[in-house]
Structure 1
Amino acid sequence: MPDTYKILFNGQVQGVGFRPHVSKLARKMNITGTVSNNEEGVILMASGVADKVLEFYHKLVKNPPPAARINGHEIMKVKSVAFDTFDIVPSSAKGKLNLALTPDFGICPSCSEEISNPDNRRYNYPFTTCVNCGPRWSLTNTFPFERAHTSMAGFLMCPACQSEYEDPKDRRFHSQTNSCPNCGVQLELTDNKGAVINLDTDLLFEELSDLISIGKIIAIKNTGGYLLCCDAANPEVIQRLRRLKRRPKKPFAILYPSLDLLKEQLVVNDLQSQELMSTERPIVILSSKGLKSGLAVDDLAPGLSQLGVMLPYSGILVLLSKGLKQPIVATSGNIHGSPIISGKEQSMALISDVADYFLHHNLNIVNAQDDSVVKYSFKHGQKITFRRSRGFAPNYFDHVKKNMGKILALGGHLKSTIAYTPNDYLYISQYLGNLDHFEVYKRFTETTTVFRRIFQEEPHCILTDKHPGYLSSQYGEELSKNLKVPLYRIQHHRAHFASVLGENNLFASSDAILGVIWDGTGYGDDGQIWGGEFFTYRSGEMKRSAYFDYFEWLAGDKMSKEPRLSLFSLHKDEKATFFKDKFSAKELAIYDSVKRSNILKTSSVGRIFDAVASLLNYCDVNSYEGEGAILLENAVNDYELSQLKVYVHAGEDCKIHTHILWENLYKDFNNGVEKEKIILNFLYTLATVITEMAVLSGSQKIAMSGGVFQNTVLIDMLKELSKNRFELFFNRNLAPNDENISYGQLMYFVHCMSKKGV
């Protein structure tokens, strides 16, 4: 009898072609047995000569399928079993789910080539996928990952597809999303009244191309939700889309048909190219300086010298791009502020007055997702995630302790996400949005329900932000009462700090770590509005060690939307002539009275950015979140640190004197110093203050988080100032903005609060 071994793999091993990969290798090496998915990953029974089976095992560990991520593996000898062949057998879940979920993957070169080949049976079929590519999380109802557990369940494979599925030599061997034009997903083109336009698939994408070229807006149901598309070189249609979508200035994402064309028109470095062509296929923010094309840049990204660019990541986008052969706008299908739309009826109800035509399909999208967004700093290539969604969610792999407990963290209010540890894994939802919007809040609660349903586990405790007014906090309080589990409130900036400590595996460090957490707003332990904080961390203890000196918080949340209010708060001379251009006489009287009697203060560095943006006349009222700060970063070019000056130094009284910074900055403004130099001095001041605080605190490790650290110029300056003096740590796979709050809450609870016996 041959020796028989039981082999287990866990991690991201389902929906990635792991079982077909195992089967092919086993047959090649004359190993017999079985492989199947279960609730914990992939399980093998392998029989053969002992040395051969061990060699087989080690080859699988070292060379898994391209999209797989093995978290753990083990092999154990069991009672000998005689198998005739090596087979993939039906999956069975005997317990609760304990494995990594599978994100969506961008279309692979082989599938892309097939749909572009007139001689291939999948020519022009946009839902062509294989074991290495295609939607996964967006179609998932439950796990293990089998066709029956996805929204592909309603599409029965035709004989040709079934033959591929069963053929060990075929690259679609056991591909759970396999389909073709004869048995797969069907497209439907309609006008915005719902009238169907009957066209053969071969002509459909030509028609879409023609419609876009004559200035029409098309709502296209993609794999993660609807996209609104139009000609990126037509200012009139872009402005019409802005007006109808209620998005006056926020940049639109651009879909380029190929990397070759993109490189002809824009400068793209190796890091950016790799990101654009990765399996995740995010939007990558590139400089638009020197653009060699007729794109309407001023309309696509008003006031900015950058563009958010992506390449086709689905069959639909490949075929659309092939027909167009030019860049197009491809922005989320929604009204500004609402979540991305994924259903036909909802799309017709909500955006029929935005789009002229709709391309629908009959594949249900279970988990709608926006496109992810990343950027690399210009000088030092530091990667910064702006939005973590399609391609990345809902997994998180790095530095997660097992047996953390069943914890549900509900994040913040802006840029909402959810983090959950129902088993040995940590799951972080896709970006959900601003909970002020009812539809976003509804999706937030639905996503929480999906997580609880998929894992068949209820949390043993719930974590929320400390701010009592956040809808996520209120929902968490209600849920904790319904489930009769404890609720813990985690301060916003401590969660930010914990997120970067967790991402960089720093909780175990014996060295003192300086935390620099700068953002727009967060409810502080003293009841004030924090946002310019310094913390120290050592051995499970996190302490607030310094902060930007307080200034007046005016008009509640309105202050974060109107940079002119931050200017009015910081500038002592309320009679300054420039205020007359920014406020009416009535407004000035009201805000002056509020300022003199106000007891609510803020330390927010984000609001200081706003004040500078208003002073320099870049932005008085934000049309999208962070507009003022983005315009400041966009206004500066290259620099030499030796040519810059510091407006304020770190004080030994544990404060950064905000008003001294402002007075010195204003002197430059009043003396006619050029705007770009003032912005660079301001950023250099912030970078210098960080290094000075590190010296004062005796820390050589500096960990930074919060929305301010999306500023790539600031990050590059920090890298130059630090050199060999300090170790710098940033959020790695998560965005530094409030998307990381749910993860940070969980990290803070596990590593700081639990050590205190909570």
Structure 2
Amino acid sequence: MIVQIRARIILNGIVQGVGFRPFVHRLAESFHLFGWVANTSQGVIIEVEGDRECVDGFYQQVLNSSPPMATIMRRTIEFFPTIGSVSFEIRESVICPDEFTPVPPDMAICNDCYQELIDLNNRRYGYPFINCTNCGPRFTIIQATPYDRKNTTMRDFKMCQECEAEYNDITNRRYHAEPNACPVCGPEVWLWRDGIRVECDDPIRKTIGILKDGCIVAVKGIGGFHLACNALDSEAVKRLQERKRREKEKPFAIMLRDIERVGQYCKVNEHERDILLSTASPIVLLKKRLPCSIPDVVAPNNRYLGVMLPYTPLHYLLMADEEIPALVMTSANLSDEPLIKDNNEAMDRLPGVADYILMHNRDIHNRCDDSVVQVIGDKEMIVRRARGYAPYPITFDTGANHFLSVLAVGAELKSTFCLSHRNFAFLSQHLGDLKNLETLEFFKEGIKRYQRLFQIKPEFIAHDLHPDYLSTRFALEITAQNPNLKNHAIQHHHAHIVSCMAENSIDERVLGIALDGIGYGTDGHIWGGEFLLADYSGFERIAHLKYIPMPGADLATKQPWRMAVSYLYAACGGIIPPGFIERWGSERVKIIIKMMEQGLNSPLTSSAGRLFDAVASIIGIRDEVDYEAQAAIELEMMAEEHCNGEYGFFVDQDTKPWGIDTIPIIRGILNDMGTGVVSSIISARFHNTIIAMIQQISRLIRERWMVNKVALSGGVFQNRYLLERVKPLLEGDGFIVFSHSRVPANDGGISLGQVVIASRRIKNVSGYTCKNNEDFRLSGSR
């Protein structure tokens, strides 16, 4: 006997903007089912009726064969009597109050669209805004959910008859593709200079000629403007550095035409190749082939190049000329300011920086920079999380009450925020360093837009302990304005470790090893070389690098020679060896010593990052830096890869917490320098010592506290030499080791850790369950 039944299916996750409704429509017809599918604020709702066996088969296919970019995170199915539906349709979208669904990130152009782009007989030949249900802009054009054209920046472009026919054709890959457009009805591109539109037949072809001539062009992309120049033209690259006021030795990213061209300049393994060709299409850090014809000025003193492939049709058209195989593509902003996304802003801010501006009239709603990743071992590791990854949520089971509604505001460098609700944590795209008013306004704008997009009204706000961070001040101002909003201060390194735990879905006590540059400690000192026993609720500090003065405070992060003086003073009994005095100047050294002895602007620090800086300066690599972590990066680049030696160190277990004495390392380095050991060997031995230190202290802590799971976090663990060696070493000792992949190990992941800690602490204290705070308002935001 054939049983007829009707099913109502609700799916939540990345199910809008990825071709899900067309997929469901075609699937329902293949199973001879009737009903409807619709986007809603809570996801996708499907109702189908027919034979029970067909309904069951349809449901399994929906779960197991959904479109490649779709991710089903939650699902429900209920059964009812049939109502006599006689067709299947895609219905108008429905807004459900207080409900939300994740939205997809932007996706690189797919192969089908690329083939149309280069097909002389196709009506979209050479059209720079080709897209379909499998590719194109998503997050950067979405203004609200459900994901419909009217809720995007494409709403003002009315589809022509042919595009409308594609949009309504169930057999077409543009069936319900919301940004669908063509040269007749879609956005257009033009060239601008000196306040006027440049008259030309083909603005893109004209731009290629301009780039050949050594000019700098601002190019409007998918998430903002790039500044572009010919990467093989050293003088053009230098001009770009100067005009952008960019640090002279900070590496640029480059765009290469195709994967074959990438192989000419860099070594590319299979995993790196797959990431380059993925829909995320990030910048990937690749080892240079030597000799490399990309000029050193692009990435000085670095073994690696940041490389990306074209990810929009416009990029492919710009890269079409064989005479320009590589373009420098860097964010269009002045140093330390947010990425420029709007035409008027570009016309106002970029003259004097760019010679020309290539712009278009598809508005960008959510600015989003390029993501940066590297592959360490066999694992993708995001360094900067933005286009192609954001706003994809971090999800994990947090129990019956899920997450509370928390806004976490992160730290200062590599700023992000994170909003949580239920079992979703929405980690923002990279926002930049939160050090000025412009970035703070971008930060506020981003929070407001995420709140609206995901229907989250926070009840709690989490921030760093550091009182001087703009993020901390912002959090305190907001709670002062909103009495119902409670703030929670979270220690920096605890947040680091929990971000790693949360990413890896670990909810138990671990040994957390947090190595970075700066983090405010609970004792008022600057932490950064920490061994913690940690869980979501709290932590105990078991061991740390022994404190040492940081003369000049923040200035020491820009002038590593200051930390070198501090370490030499401790290692040499208060006497700085003459050679260093000659190098740095007697008067300057005397001032630093006086500052340390009198405690003037010389906070105590346990920072591993500052130890790396000191070593880099002592062995002559870098006394001052142009950009954050430059000294440590160049120290890593210097290291001889096949050296097994190491220096001494001492763990004082009689103190609480244990103190790790690193002065023997400095003495060992001085001895090596005195006997003529080359810097590459000294660098390798130093790195090997940090690895041995991590192994020894991990063993000691396991022996005492019986903890076998280790979480590694902090910017130091982006050091390839270190992570490639320490992780297998610990695993060989029987430890279960967790590191970052989807969330940055640097301060870009701090806000995720803050959300998790705050949510757990509140629950532990009060047994609190979640509700939405109607009273939350963000002043000064659009």
Report the TM range for the smaller structure's normalisation: over 0.9
Provide the secondary structure at the position in 1 that maps to 2:78: strand
Opposite residue 714 of structure 1, the aligned amino acid is: L
The equivalent residue for 2:475 is: 476
Give the distance between the partners of 2:594 and 2:265, measured in 1 at CA.
53
- Counterpart contact for 1:37–1:144, Cα < 8 Å: yes
1:652 Cα offset (Å):
2.5
Give the distance between the partners of 2:37 and 2:584, measured in 1 at CA.
70
* Counterpart mapping for 1:109-508 below 5 A: 109-191=111-193, 193-200=194-201, 203-247=202-246, 248-291=248-291, 294-296=293-295, 298-324=296-322, 326-377=325-376, 380-401=377-398, 403-484=402-483, 485-507=485-507
Opposite residue 729 of structure 1, the aligned amino acid is: F
Provide the secondary structure at the position in 2 that maps to 1:10: strand
Say yes or no: does 1:707 pair with 2:707: no
**Cα shift readout 1:292-317 (whole Å, capped 9, x = no counterpart):** 5x321x11001112100000111111
- Counterpart contact for 2:498–2:535, Cα < 8 Å: no
- Counterpart contact for 2:223–2:369, Cα < 8 Å: yes
The equivalent residue for 1:567 is: 564
- Counterpart contact for 1:99–1:425, Cα < 8 Å: no
463-472 or 257-266, which moves further after superposition?
257-266
- Counterpart contact for 1:582–1:620, Cα < 8 Å: no
Which residue, out of 4, 10, 15, partners 1:13?
15
The equivalent residue for 1:523 is: 520
- Counterpart contact for 1:205–1:323, Cα < 8 Å: no
Q: 1:456 to 1:514 in 2, by over 3 A?
A: closer
- Counterpart contact for 1:568–1:574, Cα < 8 Å: no
Opposite residue 199 of structure 1, the aligned amino acid is: C
The equivalent residue for 1:608 is: 611
Q: 1:538 to 1:244 in 2, by over 3 A?
A: closer
748-757 or 16-25, which moves further after superposition?
748-757
**Cα shift readout 1:378-402 (whole Å, capped 9, x = no counterpart):** xx33432110000111122342536
Opposite residue 303 of structure 1, the aligned amino acid is: N
Give the distance between the partners of 1:319 and 1:724, measured in 2 at CA.
50
Give the distance between the partners of 2:627 and 2:326, measured in 1 at CA.
24
The equivalent residue for 2:754 is: 745
Which residue, out of 615, 620, 623, partners 2:623?
620
1:349 Cα offset (Å):
2.0
1:124 Cα offset (Å):
1.1
Say yes or no: does 1:690 pair with 2:689: no
1:51 Cα offset (Å):
0.6
77-86 or 488-497, which moves further after superposition?
77-86
Give the distance between the partners of 2:71 and 2:519, measured in 1 at CA.
36
Which residue, out of 78, 81, 86, partners 2:80?
78
**Cα shift readout 1:216-273 (whole Å, capped 9, x = no counterpart):** 1110000110011111111111111111112211111010000122123322100100
1:496 Cα offset (Å):
0.6
Give the distance between the partners of 1:64 and 1:440, measured in 2 at CA.
39
Which residue, out of 725, 744, 747, partners 1:717?
725
1:657 Cα offset (Å):
0.3
- Counterpart contact for 1:252–1:308, Cα < 8 Å: yes
Q: Normalising by the residue count of structure 1, what TM-score does the alignment of the two structures yield? A: 0.96
267-276 or 88-97, which moves further after superposition?
88-97
Give the distance between the partners of 2:381 and 2:686, measured in 1 at CA.
21
Opposite residue 744 of structure 2, the aligned amino acid is: A
1:732 Cα offset (Å):
2.1
Which residue, out of 18, 25, 48, partners 2:50?
48
Corresponding pairs, count? 746
Give the distance between the partners of 1:291 and 1:182, measured in 2 at CA.
47
Opposite residue 222 of structure 1, the aligned amino acid is: G
**Cα shift readout 1:388-441 (whole Å, capped 9, x = no counterpart):** 000111122342536311111011011110100145422111000111132111
Provide the secondary structure at the position in 2 that maps to 1:154: coil
745-754 or 141-150, which moves further after superposition?
745-754
**Cα shift readout 1:482-511 (whole Å, capped 9, x = no counterpart):** 22211110011111111111111221x3xx
Give the distance between the partners of 1:166 and 1:38, measured in 2 at CA.
19
**Cα shift readout 1:343-372 (whole Å, capped 9, x = no counterpart):** 112112222111111101111111111100
- Counterpart contact for 2:33–2:49, Cα < 8 Å: yes
263-272 or 132-141, which moves further after superposition?
263-272
598-607 or 579-588, which moves further after superposition?
579-588
Opposite residue 704 of structure 1, the aligned amino acid is: L
1:450 Cα offset (Å):
1.4
Which aligned segments of 4 or more residues in structure 1 are displaced greater than 6 angstroms? none
Provide the secondary structure at the position in 2 that maps to 1:119: coil
Give the distance between the partners of 1:582 and 1:42, measured in 2 at CA.
67
Opposite residue 738 of structure 2, the aligned amino acid is: F
Unaligned stretches of 5+ in structure 1?
A: none
Opposite residue 514 of structure 1, the aligned amino acid is: L
1:687 Cα offset (Å):
0.9
Which residue, out of 2, 5, 29, partners 1:3?
5
- Counterpart contact for 2:639–2:682, Cα < 8 Å: no
443-452 or 233-242, which moves further after superposition?
443-452
Opposite residue 362 of structure 1, the aligned amino acid is: N
1:583 Cα offset (Å):
3.5
- Counterpart contact for 1:257–1:321, Cα < 8 Å: yes
Opposite residue 496 of structure 2, the aligned amino acid is: H
Provide the secondary structure at the position in 1 that maps to 2:544: strand
Give the distance between the partners of 1:373 and 1:400, measured in 2 at CA.
28
CA-atom RMSD, angstroms? 1.7
Q: 1:414 to 1:152 in 2, by over 3 A?
A: same
* Counterpart mapping for 1:631-650 below 5 A: 631-640=634-643, 643-650=644-651
Opposite residue 354 of structure 2, the aligned amino acid is: A
745-754 or 362-371, which moves further after superposition?
745-754
1:291 Cα offset (Å):
4.8
Give the distance between the partners of 2:50 and 2:357, measured in 1 at CA.
56
Give the distance between the partners of 1:690 and 1:92, measured in 2 at CA.
54
The equivalent residue for 2:578 is: 577
Give the distance between the partners of 1:265 and 1:712, measured in 2 at CA.
20
1:158 Cα offset (Å):
0.6
- Counterpart contact for 1:2–1:82, Cα < 8 Å: no
Identity among equivalent positions (%) equals 34
- Counterpart contact for 1:98–1:423, Cα < 8 Å: no
Give the distance between the partners of 1:550 and 1:281, measured in 2 at CA.
42
**Cα shift readout 1:99-145 (whole Å, capped 9, x = no counterpart):** 11221111111111111111111111111110011111111111111
Opposite residue 63 of structure 1, the aligned amino acid is: S
Unaligned stretches of 5+ in structure 2?
A: 768-782
**Cα shift readout 1:151-187 (whole Å, capped 9, x = no counterpart):** 1111111111000000001000000110111111111
1:290 Cα offset (Å):
2.3
The equivalent residue for 1:676 is: 680
